[in-house]
Chain A
Amino acid sequence: MGINSRFSFVSEGSLLIEIGNILDYEISDRVQSLSLALKKLDILDITVAYGSLLIDFDPLKYNLDEFLLDVKNIFDVVMSTFSKREEDTIIRDVFVRFGGQYGPDLKYVAEFHNISEEEVIREFTSKVYKVFMLGFTPGFAYMGILSDLIATPRLSTPRLVVEAGSVGIAGNQTGIYPTRSPGGWQIIGRTEQVMFSPESQDPFFFKPSDYVRFVRVDS
């Protein structure tokens, strides 16, 4: 198979499965396929990350060895039938106002790469990005992979307040702040679309494995 995987019980009721430790589309696709397949087990929760996932289960319901065996069986099926994503995957559009009051760090990102703000926006909106995982705060999507033309290190001192809807860059990742919170990413724009609405039937705009395209709207 060529997949170096590792299974470890990291608490009485949590099994960590590591598939890879780099930011990579295929590894992430495998993690996400596995997370969907594992839902057929009687478990409590799954945390999906870039190259790993954590299963929370009730240790009163399973014997550890039996649980590991069940998980490994599902793992083997998923990995042996895995194929790269279909090209007809739905892409979600996010409408963004760039620069100025909406994107206070757009200027810095342009200067960092010695290109114009216009070129940063053109490059940023020219690609489709994948949602690798959600975390940091509820609904915060970690997306990528940004081209090296615009990848920029995070702020040396995080801001105490980043407005909800802010679109940021950190290294070769991009993300949208769902709620007003502190944050250290380079903010290049802002969307008015709501990323997290806890009281609605469908609280989260994104789920892991979504694809995203940023569309420029005039300020």
Chain B
Amino acid sequence: MTANIEVLNAGFHSVIQGNQRIGFKSFGVPESGPLDPFTSTLANLLLENKPFAPLLEITQGSLEFMSHGDTYIAISGADLNAVLFRGCNSNKISVGTSIKLQDGDRVKFNGSNNGFRCWCAFCGGIKVPPILSSTSTLETSNLGGIFGRSLLKGDIFEVVNDTQPRNKILLPLLNFDNNKNVFLRVIKGSQYDEFSKDDIEVFFQNSYRVLSNSNRIGIRLSYSEKETRPIKGFNILSDPSPLGAVQITTDGSPIILLQDRGTVGGYPKIATVIKADLIKVAQLKPNQLITFKLISVEDAIKEYYNILSLLAKSIIEINTGFIKNYIELSKKYNLTHFSLCTENFNFLIKR
């Protein structure tokens, strides 16, 4: 059984991302892959896909596609108000469930103020050949995905369609920060010690505004109105740029370097955003304010472990017997809700 997806409207920015491109950094090739390497895998896992099967990374919304043939999709990340259109009917698609698509179904992401990015996985993954051992798109070099670029109206891609999704639900254990002011935890960066004590203090006092020219290369920041003073970068002999590095240019603009960054660079890096907070970084939208908080490498690793353990607990399988029993019992006793407790979690099911 085959299924093809036709892009009716590409939206603001929609791009195929899969596994990281590992092993080519000495040749100038960054890792690429989903901006949030944790949450994105959940969409795949809901469909029994491999965690890094190629999926769509959808920024802001307006993407609309049509399914030619039957398949399944699942969405993780921000709720960008996806709607399923079937004939004259339309239904909202919840984040964290697998949805069956029939031939001719259309899916549209309307966007929302609550978050900026989501990941839409397809049954078995999107069928794209790996380039340099990765299916991920690197737009700056026209590598991977479809023609090495983000989606355009009229693109058609094939779905592998070889998995059998079971009844699974997603517990929202991995949350991003949707406050007006987002705290990002960092550790010391490559040139931390080359900044003056004064500059370092100011760096952590300032809050920064996310600029609209941010992309998968980096989150560009300006100083908010409440700045004490900007700190200036300086030229260094180009050195490696780690994922999440906060680079300060000579004119004083901080940039958080992301998955599609250049592998080396000539600006000093004062800090590195911890891996666990890439979940928040992937949801930053223009005009949001951020501040940085310094933690130790050891604590960063603890947070990383914590995220991985939450990730492992995020998806639970529900058997149909359980659902039938629940419905029968709740009718019989006229229950309005049902509390479920297991070893790892407890939550409330409302009727």
Say yes or no: B264 contacts A136, CB within 8 Å: yes
The reply to whether the CB of B131 lies closer than 8 angstroms to some CB of chain A is: yes
The reply to whether the CB of B240 lies closer than 8 angstroms to some CB of chain A is: yes
Residues of the B chain whose Cβ atoms lie less than 8 Å from the Cβ of A47 = 25-26, 240-241, 263-264
The reply to whether the CB of A112 lies closer than 8 angstroms to some CB of chain B is: no
The reply to whether the CB of B343 lies closer than 8 angstroms to some CB of chain A is: no
The reply to whether the CB of A59 lies closer than 8 angstroms to some CB of chain B is: yes
In the assembled complex, the CB of B206 is this many whole angstroms from the nearest CB of chain A, namely 21
The reply to whether the CB of B322 lies closer than 8 angstroms to some CB of chain A is: no
Per-residue interface assignment for chain A, residues 39 to 52, with 1 indicating a CB less than 8 Å from any chain B CB and 0 otherwise:
00000111111111
Stretch at the interface among B55-63, B85-93, B140-148, B154-162: B140-148
Q: How far is the CA of A75 from the CA of B262 in the complex (A)?
A: 26
Residues of the B chain whose Cβ atoms lie less than 8 Å from the Cβ of A137 = 28, 140-141, 262
The reply to whether the CB of A114 lies closer than 8 angstroms to some CB of chain B is: no
Q: How many residues of B contact A (CB 8 A)?
A: 45
Say yes or no: B187 contacts A11, CB within 8 Å: yes
In the assembled complex, the CB of B309 is this many whole angstroms from the nearest CB of chain A, namely 11
Say yes or no: B244 contacts A50, CB within 8 Å: no
Contact partner of A22 among B131, B237, B298, CB < 8 A?
A: B237
Say yes or no: A135 contacts B245, CB within 8 Å: no
| Number of A-B residue pairs with CB-CB distance less than 8 Å in the complex they form | 132
**For window 20-59 of chain B, which residues contact chain A by CB distance below 8 Å?**
22-29, 31
The reply to whether the CB of B287 lies closer than 8 angstroms to some CB of chain A is: no
Chain B contact surface mostly: mixed
Contact A138 B28, CB 8 Å, known A10-B269, A133-B264, A179-B141: yes
Residue of B nearest to A54 (CB): B240
Q: How far is the CA of A49 from the CA of B191 in the complex (A)?
A: 15
In the assembled complex, the CB of A53 is this many whole angstroms from the nearest CB of chain B, namely 7
Q: How far is the CA of A103 from the CA of B91 in the complex (A)?
A: 59
Say yes or no: A198 contacts B132, CB within 8 Å: yes
The reply to whether the CB of B326 lies closer than 8 angstroms to some CB of chain A is: no
Say yes or no: A23 contacts B301, CB within 8 Å: no
Max chain A CB contacts within 10 Å: which of B24, B237, B245, B305? B237
Say yes or no: A10 contacts B272, CB within 8 Å: yes
**For window 127-183 of chain B, which residues contact chain A by CB distance below 8 Å?**
131-132, 138, 140-143
Max chain A CB contacts within 10 Å: which of B26, B138, B236, B245? B26
Residues of the A chain whose Cβ atoms lie less than 8 Å from the Cβ of B138 = 138
Say yes or no: A138 contacts B238, CB within 8 Å: no
Q: How far is the CA of A199 from the CA of B28 in the complex (A)?
A: 16
Say yes or no: A11 contacts B263, CB within 8 Å: no
Residues of the A chain whose Cβ atoms lie less than 8 Å from the Cβ of B304 = 12, 59
Residues of the A chain whose Cβ atoms lie less than 8 Å from the Cβ of B27 = 134, 138-139, 203-204, 207
**For window 166-203 of chain A, which residues contact chain B by CB distance below 8 Å?**
179, 181, 198-199, 203
22 A-B pairs with CB atoms under 8 Å apart are A9-B187, A10-B190, A10-B242, A10-B269, A11-B244, A11-B245, A11-B272, A12-B187, A12-B297, A16-B242, A45-B22, A45-B31, A46-B26, A48-B240, A49-B238, A51-B239, A53-B240, A54-B239, A59-B304, A64-B298, A137-B141, A138-B28
A-B pairs, 9 with minimum CB distance: A54-B240, A135-B264, A47-B240, A47-B25, A134-B28, A135-B28, A138-B29, A14-B242, A45-B25
- The residues of B with any CB-CB pair to A shorter than 8 Å are 22-29, 31, 131-132, 138, 140-143, 187-190, 236-245, 262-265, 269, 272, 274-275, 297-298, 300-301, 304-305, 308
